[in-house]
Chains A and B, each alone.
Chain A
Amino acid sequence: MNSNHELDELFDSLKGIRRAEGAKAATLEKVLQTGSRKSRKWPQWAAVGGASLLTAALALVLMFSLLNGEETEQPAAVFSDMEISEAGVAASKAEKGFAAAYPLETFMIEDGTFLGQTERFLEGLYVTEEPGLFTEPAYDLKLMKEEGGQLNLKIWKHDGRIFVYDIIEQAYYTVDGRAGTELYDTIGRLPFR
């Protein structure tokens, strides 16, 4: 008996895992119940809260830029050109068939507080595999935490669409304008070129 065969036999054992009795039917029922509610809008306070956080953070970034005499249209040097180029190339290779099909939840951090509910502010953000180009002016949004935690986003506009890149997680998002959220309006008012 060769080694691969023996290992495959062990994998066969792991395939035998079963769900708890009744779990399959119960989960399906919950999925259908959730789906039947059709519109799964998040509470207004969550959307407004999240948008307000972003607005405040963007205001800080803009204020900081102005105080330092920088033109806000210029991207900060978070990435080297090489890193940006590689990220762009890798992303351009991504399969487009799934673009914008997968909603992704993430987090906002404010003054060291983890705001679990505020992840819902990203109702209007969808992960994308069609991130556009990094060659256009972008804004860097950094939310720092004393202990060292941070959320680093890069926001830019390409072909009329707004994209967000989470530098730490290396995940791309696009802002879905149809959501019509305050978040979208806020980002949309930035003086992108």
Chain B
Amino acid sequence: MTEDDARLTEIYQELSDEVYKYLCYMLKEPWTAEDLTQETFIRVLRHLNGFTEEASVKTWVFKIARNVALDHLRRKKLLQFFHIEPLFKSLKADDAPLLDGLVMSEEVAALYEGLSALKKEYREVIILRKINELSTRESAVILNWSEDKVKSMLSRGLAKLQAEMLEKRGVGNEFQS
């Protein structure tokens, strides 16, 4: 095993589950998250020598994962445009069997669908902050936003999410303070 392989393995063991989780919710396609996790770490390995350690490995890897996700979304948009693939379905609670490990209570299902319905910017800041548990600073680096923007978008996104949950399943009114 080369030095790069060893370093990659270390990074992979530490971060791949989080990257998978991020991709899973970000793309609304649990069935492609593993493939794109693989693509993310191939890119990490390819650019490991160029990584300057100016930023943390975690934000660097997440930024690459985000680029992989955005590439995929662009590709999907074009494929849909040319009718090469059928429209992808939105993430529904019915996908639960694909989401191993989730206990899909009514509330969780509402959260899951609500998250899926949010616009991309809200969805990604909520995923990074609330599911991946990254700090405001780390999220700001990954998203190329200011920390203030991360905070305001998170706040707006959560409000929108609660509204979505309420609208879709009548869940969420208990969150209204």
Q: Which residues of A contact B (CB under 8 A)?
A: 2-4, 6-8, 10-11, 13-20, 23-24, 27-28, 30-32, 34-36, 40, 94-95, 97-98, 101-107, 112, 114, 119, 127, 129, 149, 169
Answer whether A3 and B34 are a contact pair too, CB < 8 Å, given A16-B102, A95-B144: no
Assess whether B175 is interfacial by the CB under 8 Å rule.
yes
Q: Are B45 and A14 in contact (CB under 8 A)?
A: no
A2 to B174, CA, bound (A): 9
Assess whether B168 is interfacial by the CB under 8 Å rule.
no
Interface residues of B in 36-60 (CB under 8 A from A): 37-38, 41-43, 45-47, 50-52, 54-55, 60
A23 to B38, CA, bound (A): 10
- Nearest Cβ in chain B — how far from A29, in angstroms? 10
Provide the residues of chain A in CB contact with B52, threshold 8 Å: 97
Assess whether B121 is interfacial by the CB under 8 Å rule.
no
Shortest Cβ distance from B39 into A: residue: A31
Q: Are A24 and B17 in contact (CB under 8 A)?
A: yes
| Size range of the chain B interface in the assembly | 35 or more
A97 to B54, CA, bound (A): 7
In the complex, given contacts A27-B16, A31-B8, A102-B47, what are 7 additional A-B residue pairs having Cβ atoms less than 8 angstroms apart? A3-B175, A7-B175, A32-B5, A97-B54, A98-B60, A101-B50, A107-B78
- Nearest Cβ in chain B — how far from A179, in angstroms? 14
Interface centre among A6, A7, A31, A35 (most CB of B within 10 A): A31
Provide the residues of chain A in CB contact with B107, threshold 8 Å: 10
Shortest Cβ distance from A5 into B: residue: B175
A27 to B9, CA, bound (A): 11
Shortest Cβ distance from A96 into B: residue: B54
Assess whether B148 is interfacial by the CB under 8 Å rule.
no
Shortest Cβ distance from B100 into A: residue: A18
Q: Which residues of B contact A (CB under 8 A)?
A: 1, 4-5, 8-9, 12-13, 16-17, 20-21, 24-25, 30, 34, 37-38, 41-43, 45-47, 50-52, 54-55, 60, 63-64, 67, 71, 74-75, 78-79, 81-82, 84, 99-103, 105, 107-108, 111-112, 115, 130-131, 133, 141, 144, 158, 162, 174-177
